[in-house]
């Protein structure tokens, strides 16, 4: 076991708060940890196009994106598994046929369906409100979603995953039946309170991507620490040597973590780094 650790940080709700803002203490903690010789990776459902300069300018050793479909380290693409063009056509046609608005998640941009901006506004306000965002009732879609492209080509071969607005939980259940060749999940709430469905590459998880990265680095899993806030981070918690949930995270994630730090906006990441003697 090394005294230099490999840190995997979820982004939404872990690095950022639920207004999509990054506490200054978090930025400083990440930079200080790297200065101390630790490696720091984003480990997120986001694709690269969703990362604004405020996030990337912090400085990372790489990222795991698309919930595990994309792995980058020191500027090198280690793994990238994509939804095929044929799968994309099937997804887009199925969503159009059900009247569901969606966006296609690519490292080249987030390509939105025709009425996504308007349809997503009330849904994203509910999502932000559930997470305690103080200005949730006035948020616009583009305040929350970085990298959106409207009017772009929707039949694509560069997709990591797809998210769509649920009209009911039945949409998610039907997606599982319609797309056995994809991973189908929900986000924006537990169980039938979920707001979005998503579809991604089959058998891809953050945990699998971490395994791929560790093999690439020749690193020991005992030297890894995962940081997250949600149920989807639990496989990442389970595969790493140690895990931390922010205090503003979900109950399931807290129960699965080795340590619960303070809320995102209460210096959660900085306090965890100090607790673990990373800084």
pLDDT digit string (tens) for 128-181?
A: 887 777 788 888 888 888 889 999 999 999 999 999 999 999 999 999 999 999
**pLDDT band at residue 127 using 50, 70 and 90 as cut-offs:** confident
Q: Is pLDDT above 70 for 1?
A: no
- Number of helical H runs and strand E runs in the chain: 10, 14
**pLDDT band at residue 257 using 50, 70 and 90 as cut-offs:** very high
Q: State the pLDDT at residue 129.
A: 83
Q: Which residue has the higher pLDDT, 250 or 175?
A: 175
What is the overall mean pLDDT for the chain?
94
The Cα 263–Cα 221 span in angstroms is 26
Share of the chain above pLDDT 70, in %: 99
Q: Is pLDDT above 80 for 18?
A: no
- State the alpha helices, DSSP H only, in 106-145: 116-130, 141-144
The Cα 4–Cα 152 span in angstroms is 44
CATH numbers and ranges of domains, the chain: 6-81+204-275 (3.40.50.1000), 85-201 (3.30.1240.10)
Q: State the pLDDT at residue 236.
A: 94
Q: State the pLDDT at residue 190.
A: 65
How many C-beta atoms surround the C-beta of residue 218 within 10 A?
6
Q: Is pLDDT above 70 for 122?
A: yes
Q: State the pLDDT at residue 139.
A: 87
Mean pLDDT value of segment 231-242: 93
Q: 117: closest CA among 93, 153, 137, 143?
A: 143
The Cα 201–Cα 66 span in angstroms is 9
Mean pLDDT value of segment 234-249: 95
Q: Is pLDDT above 80 for 19?
A: no
The Cα 5–Cα 8 span in angstroms is 10
**67, two tokens:** 């919930």
In the numeric block, the tokens 């005992």 are attached to 222
Q: Which residues are CB-neighbours of 230 under 8 A, at least 6 positions away? A: 10, 13, 187, 249, 250, 253
Share of the chain above pLDDT 90, in %: 78
Q: State the pLDDT at residue 161.
A: 95
Q: Is pLDDT above 70 for 191?
A: no
For the entire predicted model, the pTM comes to 0.87
Q: Is pLDDT above 90 for 205?
A: no
């Amino acid at each position: 076991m090394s005294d230099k650790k490999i840190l995997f940080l979820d982004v939404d709700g872990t690095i950022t708060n639920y207004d999509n803002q990054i506490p200054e203490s978090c930025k400083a903690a990440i930079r200080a940890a790297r200065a101390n010789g630790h490696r720091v990776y984003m480990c997120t459902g986001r694709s690269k196009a969703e990362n604004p300069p405020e996030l990337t300018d912090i400085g990372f050793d790489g990222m795991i994106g698309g919930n595990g479909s994309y792995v980058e380290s020191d500027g090198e693409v280690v793994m990238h598994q994509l939804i095929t063009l044929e799968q994309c056509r099937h997804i887009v046609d199925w969503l159009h046929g059900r009247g569901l608005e969606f966006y296609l998640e690519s490292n080249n941009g987030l390509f939105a369906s025709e009425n996504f901006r308007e349809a997503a506004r009330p849904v994203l306000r509910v999502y932000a409100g559930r997470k305690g965002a103080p200005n949730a009732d006035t948020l616009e879609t583009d305040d929350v979603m970085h990298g959106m492209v409207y009017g772009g080509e929707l039949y694509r071969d560069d997709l990591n995953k797809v998210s769509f607005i649920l009209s009911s939980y039945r949409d998610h259940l039907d997606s599982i039946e319609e797309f056995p060749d994809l991973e189908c999940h929900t986000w924006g709430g537990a169980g039938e309170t979920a707001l979005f469905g998503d579809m991604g590459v089959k058998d891809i998880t953050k945990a699998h991507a971490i395994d791929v990265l560790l093999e690439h680095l020749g690193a020991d899993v005992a030297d890894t620490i995962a940081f997250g806030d949600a149920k989807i981070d639990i496989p990442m918690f389970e595969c790493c040597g140690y895990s931390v949930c922010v205090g503003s995270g979900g109950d399931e994630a807290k129960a699965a973590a080795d340590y619960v730090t303070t809320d995102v906006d209460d210096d959660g990441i900085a306090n965890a780094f100090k607790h673990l003697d990373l800084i």
